[in-house]
Every structure is written in structure tokens, then in C-alpha cells.
Chain A
Amino acid sequence: MLAGIRTRDLRKIYTSPPPLASGGGFGFGSGRGKGKKQPKPQIVALDGISLDILPGEIFGLLGPNGAGKSTTLGILTTRVRPTGGQAWIGELDVWREQVAVKRLIGVVAQRPNLDFALTAREILLFHGAYFGVDSHQRAERADVLLDRFKLRDRGDQMVRGFSGGMMQRLSIARAMMHDPQVLFLDEPSAGLDPQTRLLLWEIIREYNHSGKTILLTTHNMEEADALCQRLAIIDHGRNIALGTPGELKASVPGGYLLRLRFGSHSPELLQRLQTLTGAREVRANPDSKNDNSIDVYADRGGPLVSEIANLASSANVELCDVHISEPSLENLFLHHTGRSLRD
């Protein structure tokens, strides 16, 4: 059975600060807060996310920290209660038919959430058992996965002593243990060395070839580009762009981005830059504190630099720095949000 993923106008408002930031959490029950009438802080994490992910697709969610990627995955995997909107895995409403949904999905959370009381192999075996995999098949799959993720020699050690990357690998292996139709991976390559990252990509592609749907999140443009058939870029809980990596890149005016920094601010220069042949869009860089930084979106890169230098000297402004980026998702993100997206 093939299963896609659909969400309609998902909204999530957290009403308490994240437990981590609250410094010690709450006391006994909820009695403590009642005396003071302070309204609880509200964080809008998702502000109407609608996605339609096809069965058998590798789909990527891309966005900066706090964009709402993990919250989206949390709702789709029954771990977060949506404030509004609906989500489906296949034909199943995620919130209403949780048990049936859980049968279909495998989940890798952003933070490794391994069962620290068990060894690596036991983690896989018990996970299989929770999903009713019979004991023979369990043992077999655990071996295959330990091998595949290069954890065989660590299989019988407690996971407490694992390095971050090993825990990450084991989390991914565990999510595949019951052969789910839909796999959710929240920043799967975070903390993996470059070689292991390539191995992971290979494993993900392989898994996808057997018809499985994969939804992953990442900050890494290269990863999104290499792995995902389609992408959604989200920021501040909203979907700001959607398409294949190629389509998205093509949506940036010109494709190339020249980030310029000048010695001083000159509105006149800004206007003159707009007249350059090939320049599609010119704007002051909203990231920087002063107005001396200017972004030029253009259909060529290097050849424009000498013309820009000429313009600068004729306007009597010093050109301090030039950075050229070729067409990429990074440029796309910058173009849509005015902010850059880095590893």
C-alpha cells in the first residue's frame, strides 16, 4: 500500500515556553501558576502549512532554525497536537486515527531519543517487537541494519557510550526496523561525517526505490538538492516556496547572486546598479546593520564585477567586498526571506 502525506492549513501555537528554556520546569501539577494572572507566552510555530506529498516521493522541508520544520513533523507523527488544520497519512487522519497512522510511519526525531537502558541490538529488537515483527525476522533485520549502518561491532554495547553520530545512525536504523511505508527524518545528516552522510543518502534513495515515501528536513542546500525530488521552503511557519530543486532555483531572478559591500552608503549607486545589463533585481541587504551592503540578482556572475567596480569608482564609493554565488537554493532562500541559510 502506497501512502502519501497531506496537510491542510496546519497551525500550531505553543502556549508554554519550550521545557528546555524554562529552566527547571514546573512544580507539582499545575497548581503553581494559578496565583499569578500572567498570560502564558504564545509562540506561533506553524501559521497555515499546506503540503501535498505524493506516495513514493522524497520530499524535503527546508528552512532556518525555528521555521517550524520539527513541529510539522511532530504533528504528522502524532507527537504534537495541531492547534488548527488537518493532516493525513494516506487516507488516515493523523490526529483521529493515531494507532493506524503509527503503524505506517517510521520516525527519526531531531534529537536522538534512544532507549538508554538497552544495547544497540536490543533497541532494534524491541522496536521490532512493538510493531509485531516476528522474532526470527526481527533478528535478521537487526543484523542487516547494524551492518548497513556500520554498527555491527557496537551492536552489543549500551548506547549510553555511543558518539553522537552513532546514535544518529542507530535512530535511523531503528526507524527502518518495521519497514514503514512513510519515513520521517528530522535533520538526518546532522552530526554525520561527510562519508557517513553519503552512505545515508544512498540508504535513503534505496529505501525510496522500494516505493516508500520519505519526508526529511534539512538546512543543507546540497543535501536537499541531491536527495529530494521536491522541496518546500518554510519560514516563520509558512510555506514560502514549493517545487523541484530545479524549478526553485530557476525562480530566482537571474539565478546568480552578487553580494556587494561598499565603503559608504550611496542611494545613487543603488540606482545605477539597476541599469547594469543582466542585473534583474537590486536591493539593500537586509541582514547587515548599515546600508552599505547590496545584493544584486543577475543572470551572470563574474563578468559583472568589473562593471560594478567601474560604477563604484565613478560614484566615488569604495568597493570593499564581492561575493558571487552561482544559482543555488541558498540564493533562493535569500531571495525569499532576505536571510541566509547556513549549516
Chain B
Amino acid sequence: MNWKTFLALLARDAHVARRNFAPLVLQTFLQPMMFVFIFGRVMVSSGYMPAAYKSLLLPGIMAISMVFTGVWAVAMPLIAEFQFTREIEDRLLAPMEISWLAIEKVFFGTLQALVAGLVVIPAAWLLLRPGVELNLRSPLSFACVTLLVALFSACGGLALGCSISQTHIGLMFSMVLTPMIFFGCTYYPWSALAHFPILQKVVLVNPLVYASEGLRGTLVPQFPHLPVPAVLVALTLFDAAFLAAGLRQFRRKAVS
């Protein structure tokens, strides 16, 4: 393994990210913050939502921001760079096994997702205050869940980015990401689906369910949530599956 090359690739991605910093920030935080403001602030203070909703909402928003950031950070450049201009070719020709380029992308995407998730907490907390009750009982499990969620978003971005072409980006959002978010227990706990028993089973294939429930279970455990160990296992499996699928697709796209 050639660390010099790996680090140079990371430096390149960091350089490009720094150059696009402002749009990146807006794109990551604008939508979740608006959501937090309307549902956590406007709806609660006008009495349409109970005050407890503030605390319930926060982990879900965090999950959305992380997944969105990770998927976007990895998938969008890959889609563009694998277009017929093959911008990525220069990096594929770097003296390193090509899979490491994909791993570098995942690593950088994971970092970005982590930053997004960790920034959303104080930002949402500031917007929602007072009345947010965070109970960080086990920082270790919180760290594990957060890391696995970030990794899952980046690996998902790799798998998506290497499987769809530029013409299908719109489809990716409307057919994959949007349903994932709405059926991902982000705005409500999984137990709230108890009245829809079939749906409640079906949504379990959605990895975002484990992301939001895991963050809920470690940040606001006072609400009903899926057991954290089960969440950790599920997220680990999803991470591994997406990474394997992503690497396979990546190699397939890289070599004709």
C-alpha cells in the first residue's frame, strides 16, 4: 500500500472541498435547519406539536444530514468523473491499487459526514432551545453509531455513484434518497409505525431506520427506540454490504 499516493489523493479532495466550501455548507445545512425551524420551533411554539418533539426530531435530522452529506460527497464526484471525459483516469493511473482510490473516496466522505453530523447537533440545539433534552448516557456507543452511520453514507455513495449515470441523478434523489428519508424513521420513532404492521416490517430493509434509531437510542434514550446492539449489528452489515458492492462496481467502471 502506497501511503504517499493515498495522502496526495486525500489532499486533492480536501483542496477541492475547500474551494467549494460555501456551497457545500449551504447544501448540507440549509434544508435540515429549515426543517428544524419549522417543525421544532414554529409547530411546537404554536402548539401543533408537543414540546417533546424537539428532542425526538434532533437525532433524525442528524441522521439525514449525515447520510445526505456522505452520499453526496462520494456519489456526485464519481458520477461526474466517470462520465465520458473520464476525469478520474489520472487518479486511476496513480501508482496504487485502484480499489484504494475508492477507499480514499469513502474515507473522505466519511469524514465529511462526521463533520456534518457533529455540526448539526449544536446548530439544531441552538435553533430549538430551550427544551431539548439530550441524554448522552454512553458516549462510546454514540461514537460507534455515529461512525457507522457516516461510513454507511459514504459506502452508499460509492455504490450509488458507481451504478448510475449522470442522466439518472434526478431519479436517484426521487427514487432512492427521498423514500429512504421518509421511511427512515427520521421524523418519528420506529415504534410510531405500530399501527401499520406491514410497513413497520418493510422499513427494516431501509438502513436509514437503523441510523436514526441508533442515534435516537444513544442521544435521547428516553424515547422508544430499537435496541442499540441490534442497531450496531445492522449498521455494520449494511456498511460491509455497501462497501463490497461499491468496490465491485467501482472496479467494473474503472476498467473496460
Contacts and interface: CB of A to CB of B under 8 A. Distances in A.
A131 B95 contact: yes
Contacts of B95: 99-100, 102-103, 130-132
A80 B12 contact: no
Interface residues of B, number: 35
Q: Report which residue of B11, B19, B95 has the largest number of chain A beta carbons within 10 angstroms of its beta carbon.
A: B95
A79 B255 contact: yes
A74 interface: yes
Interface string A107-121: 101011111111000
A114 B87 contact: yes
A126 B12 contact: yes
A26 interface: yes
Nearest to B101: A130
Contact of A79 (B2, B165, B167, B256): B256
12 contacts: A28-B163, A29-B163, A77-B93, A98-B97, A98-B98, A105-B93, A107-B89, A116-B85, A116-B87, A122-B15, A126-B11, A130-B90
Interface in B201-256: 249, 254-256
Given A78-B93, A114-B87, 5 more contacts: A29-B249, A79-B92, A99-B97, A115-B12, A122-B15
A130 B91 contact: yes
Nearest to A22: B165
A131 B94 CA distance: 6
Contacts of B15: 118, 122, 126
A interface SS class: loop
B192 interface: no
A129 interface: yes
Given A20-B84, A131-B5, A132-B5, A102 B94 contact: yes
Interface of A: 14, 19-20, 24-29, 74, 77-81, 98-100, 102-103, 105, 107, 109, 111-118, 122-123, 126-127, 129-132, 174
B256 A81 contact: yes
Interface in B97-112: 97-98
A117 B97 CA distance: 23
A27 B86 CA distance: 19
Interface in B154-190: 163-165, 167-168
B8 interface: yes
Contacts of A174: 90
A117 B16 contact: yes
Per CB-CB distance, the 8 closest pairs between chain A and chain B, nearest first, are A25-B165, A129-B8, A130-B94, A113-B89, A103-B95, A117-B16, A113-B86, A132-B4
Contacts of A28: 163-164, 168
B193 interface: no
A112 B85 contact: yes
A97 B165 CA distance: 30
B147 interface: no
Nearest to A79: B255
Contacts of A117: 16, 19, 77, 87
Contacts of A99: 2, 95-97
Contacts of A79: 89, 92-93, 254-256
Contacts of A74: 256
Nearest to B12: A126
A111 B87 CA distance: 10
